[in-house]
Structure 1
Amino acid sequence: MEQTCNPILWAKVQEIWSALERPDPTFHVHFCGNTKPMVSTQQDRVRESLEDYNSFEVHHHSLDSIVQMFLERKKPKIDAELRAVDKNYFERSDGNIRGIICTFEANEIVKLITDPEDEGKVRHDAFNDNVRVYLTKRNAVNKKIYETALSDESSEFWYLNNGITMTCDSFSYIPGRRSPKISLTNVQIVNGGQTSNALFEAHLNDPDKLENVLVLGRIYETRNRDITSKIAEATNSQTPINTRDLHSNDDIQKKLEESFRDLGLFYERKARQHSKEPKNKRIDALSAGQSHLAYSHGLPEVAKKDRARVFRDLYGTIFNNEVTPQQLLVSLRIYDEIQIRKRTLQKKIRNKEKVDASLLFLIDGGYHVLFAVHELCEVRGIDPYDLAEARKFIPAATDIVKTLVKDEMADDETFTTNRFFKDLKTKTKIQRLVLAEAPKKKVAKKTRARTRPSENPRSSLKNSASESGR
């Protein structure tokens, strides 16, 4: 045989003969197809032929599975041990998947994702199967995770966080023991990457604070890559709960709903909550918050470009015990009238009708016109929450913003309304024009008394405005 086969094959034959001399040798038979794997009927035939021999294991390969093998080889495998808390664990098994739900100390998760070569860095290989990268603690949700972990209420973390989901090739532990060590082979964090990284950053800041932080953990054992992918997809793709939804059951939101109902209106704490009611009777909480932010708090650029802040960091500024339905309603109704002008303009553009080009700024600048209405009321001593009086200033406010846009376009050849109305300086320029057109005897008085909420986004409504709104 040595004389009739090539040297490489001869070396392999000798390896096989050496293996046969050991007790209980095992055989792995590989069937490789250049496109598809062996059809199921023939796989069954092979299995039946070898099932009497315990030492045989059969593997079937296709082009896809071979490619996957190469990819798997490039991906480092992470083996780890995690200690569960007390006897707080539950296991179940179904066919080719097995799972355990348990509680871990936060430091156990930190240990899992710490780079073995640099304890100040995260081991990013632990998140190869995660669908998202870490968004840093500047992200509002991650910032809250970080702050909760380091707060005096850190013991509540387990109840406030969704926990961490991991997959692995296998896990093992001694059942029945308190705080068992769970050994994991080829573990991946497929959901909870944001939580894990935020806890890591909290650990770097103050590791002692994490001693009281507990995290819910789900571990799934499967070697089936399709199931692993499904777990990663399912645990990351469920309908997200946005910040508006989280605030929808606040007392302030419920009170506003009741107050608007007394006015014959339907306040929507939740999106499309009263979708069956007439549109002109519905008050959307987000739209009302945006208008109020621009009108009462002098933040038109935020209302335009970052409306998500209405239910995030500016929520307490807009929706507090001082705000009244009248204030929300007036700002929203005035903005609605401005929007009618904008929609009329857009309709003419779609129908290719002639339009006044000087009014095109309304497409991006509606909230700044709304802001100008409030400014005009202020300098003229008019109650800004008197809807009948305030709406009379819409034409004047429109003209002021139109003049400002015209001047800016003349001075800057790269001018765009989109950029202009996102600029913090724009509202200051509007204020100057408003003051320039105001009655002289009132200008000085209002200039001295005026303190813009825009300088302090967290400032509350002025008492006078609140009282007049009531």
Structure 2
Amino acid sequence: MENLKGFTRTYSSFQAATFALSSCMQKRPKFLRLLCADAALRGEPSNTDLTALAASKLEEIAFDDNVRIYLKQKPKVNQNIKATALSSENAKFFYFNNGLTMTCDRLDYPTNTSGPIITLENVQVVNGGQTLHALFEAFTTNQGAISPIELLCRIYETKDRELSSRIAERTNSQSPVATRDIHSIDIEQITLEREFEALGLFYERKKAQHAGKPADKRVDAEKCGQVYLAFYEDMPLEAKNRKGIIFGAKYDTIFSSTTNAEKLLLPFELFDEIETFRAHNATGQRAWLAYASYHILFALKKVAEKKKIGLTYGNRAKISGLLDKAITAVRKARKAERDSLSNAGADFADVLYFKQKKAADQIAAAV
């Protein structure tokens, strides 16, 4: 790329046998220096000024060919990379991370010398931009913490821009592993599976994990997350329409160390009762029930709290007995909103009402 002409970096501590770009050999975060915006720092392999590096930043033009834009600390994957880099297990970072893929116009690799210094010209990081940015944030948080980290690095020398673009595209387009599948091997998930097994139930850490078992004995992890959001977190809207947060932003809340099988089973079974009621009654004037299951579960929790009934599995029968009151609260809130819109000459639709944040607030007020 024309704007990269002359953008040359000098590399050291590069293990040719494994293409591992190492910071461990001399306990310095060299892989960050190599791509920093300070030309003096990146051009001097022996520079050990960590303070100057922390005051610098990454050279963003080196990421122009990367198909992913780095969003500072927003995506959970970036937060996880930073957390791993600062953890006591960061020496294992090499095994947890896919590493970097770079292209360059020219690669100069001197032979017959120990500790060769490799020069790359017109470098582009086509895969691994998130890793480098998250590691730089980790470095500025704690300069000494990331010294044990090693990164796998692949470098392609080519002036063929079409080939370079294809490398960038292909190395970023592999089918991603679903977040749920990644979490399926978490100790929390395995522990829950064992707890449910002790109750005679089959907890599905992975989708359709126990497809051959009776349907009434299967407990789906995603469904557990949905009912948890509606019941414990007062988030019925998100429970139905934002399932992605279950194994994303809300994962640590839902599947925390205090979450056990009985805590999940309480709203799970209550929701089953609500769904059974809906299946037999969502017709005519009660057609609105087809859209309201998670909001009814939310209302059921609110009614139980008002009655000062603890949200424990031992109180399941008592809470279940409040279902009519919960349905009544949802019906009242819905009717009030419908009447308000009608008086204003506006249309009302159940499918839209239960997709609005205010529905939960109105239902809570109606309890």
Q: Is the shorter-chain TM-score for this pair beyond 0.5, marking a shared fold?
A: yes
- Confirm or deny: 8 A CA contact 2:11 2:34 kept in the other structure: no
Q: Is this contact kept in 2: 1:330–1:387, CA < 8 A?
A: yes
Verify: 1:103 aligned to 2:22, yes or no: yes
Cα gap change, 1:209 to 1:254, in 2 (>3 Å)? closer
% of aligned pairs identical?
Answer: 36
Q: CA deviation at 1:322?
A: 4.0
- Alignment check: 8 A CA contact 1:78 1:187 kept: no
The answer to whether structure 1 residue 112 and structure 2 residue 35 are counterparts is yes
- The correspondence of residues 278-317 of structure 1 with structure 2, limited to 5 A, is 278-317=214-253
Alignment of 1:80 onto 2:8: yes
Amino acid at match of 2:332: T
1:27-426 to structure 2, matched below 5 A, reads 73=2, 76-77=4-5, 79-85=7-13, 88-90=15-17, 100-104=19-23, 106-114=29-37, 122-150=58-86, 154-175=90-111, 177-203=113-139, 207=143, 209-340=145-276, 355-356=284-285, 359-360=287-288, 362-363=290-291, 365-380=292-307, 384=311, 385=313, 386-411=315-340, 426=359
Greater share of strand residues, 1 or 2? 1
Cα distance, 1:366 vs structure 2: 2.5
Q: 1:62 matched to which residue of 2?
A: none
| 2:176 partner SS | coil
Question: Per the alignment, do residues 155 and 398 of structure 1 end up closer, same or farther by CA in structure 2, a change over 3 Å counting?
Answer: same
* Alignment check: 8 A CA contact 1:131 1:190 kept: yes
Cα 1:156–1:177 shift into 2, 3 Å = farther
Larger Rg computed on CA atoms: 1
* CA 1:183–1:325: 2 relative to 1, 3 Å: same
Q: CA deviation at 1:82?
A: 4.1
Cα displacement (A) at 1:374: 2.2
2: distance between equivalents of 1:198 and 1:320?
25
The answer to whether the Cα contact below 8 Å between 1:166 and 1:190 also exists between their aligned partners in 2 is yes
Q: Contact 2:201–2:219 (CA<8 Å) still a contact in 1?
A: yes
Count of aligned pairs between the two proteins? 343
Query: 5+ unaligned residues in a row in structure 1: which ranges?
Result: 1-71, 92-99, 349-354, 435-470
- State whether residues 368 and 401 of structure 1, in contact with CA within 8 Å, keep that contact through their aligned partners in structure 2: yes
- Answer whether contact 1:134 1:194 (CA < 8 A) is retained: yes
Tell me the CA shift for residue 382 of structure 1. Answer: 5.0
SS in 2 for 1:167: strand
Stretch of structure 1 that moved more, 410-419 or 142-151: 410-419
Which one has more relative contact order, counting CA pairs under 8 Å at least 6 apart? 2
Q: CA deviation at 1:291?
A: 0.7
Match of 2:51 in 1: none
- The structure-2 alpha-carbon separation of the partners of 1:317 and 1:203, relative to structure 1 and needing over 3 Å to count, comes to closer
| Displacement of 1:268 | 0.5
Is the contact between residue 9 and residue 34 of structure 2 (CA under 8 Å) also seen in structure 1? Answer: no
User: For residues 326 and 146 of structure 1, do their structure 2 counterparts lie closer, same or farther at Cα, with a shift above 3 Å needed?
Assistant: closer
Asked if structure 2 preserves the Cα contact closer than 8 Å seen for 1:110 and 1:200, the reply is no
Could you tell me how far 1:174 is from its partner in structure 2?
1.9
Q: Deviations over 1:77-124 (max 9, x none)?
A: 3643342426x3327xxxxxxxx454356443354252769x855433
Provide the rounded CA distance (Å) in 1 between the counterparts of 2:68 and 2:6.
Answer: 19
Aligned residue identity for 1:166: M
Counterpart AA for 1:330: L
SS at match of 1:400: helix
Q: Which residue in 2 is equivalent to 1:33?
A: none
Give the Cα–Cα distance (whole angstroms) in 2 for the partners of residues 135 and 361 of structure 1.
40
Structural mapping, 1:423-462, within 5 Å: 426-434=359-367
Post-superposition shift, 1:295?
A: 1.8
Rounded to whole Å, the distance in 2 between the matches of 1:319 and 1:262 is 18
Q: Are residues 206 and 178 of structure 1, via their aligned partners in 2, closer, same or farther at CA, if it must alter by over 3 Å?
A: farther
In 2 relative to 1, CA 199–256 (structure 1 residues): closer, same or farther, beyond 3 Å? closer
Give, in whole Å, the separation in 1 of the partners of 2:213 and 2:186.
Answer: 23
Once the two structures are TM-superposed, the CA of residue 284 in structure 1 deviates from its matched residue by 0.8
Equivalent residues of 1:90, 1:102 under 8 A apart: no
> 1:191–1:236: 8 Å Cα contact kept in structure 2?
yes
Separation (CA, whole Å) in 1 of partners of 2:125 and 2:330: 52
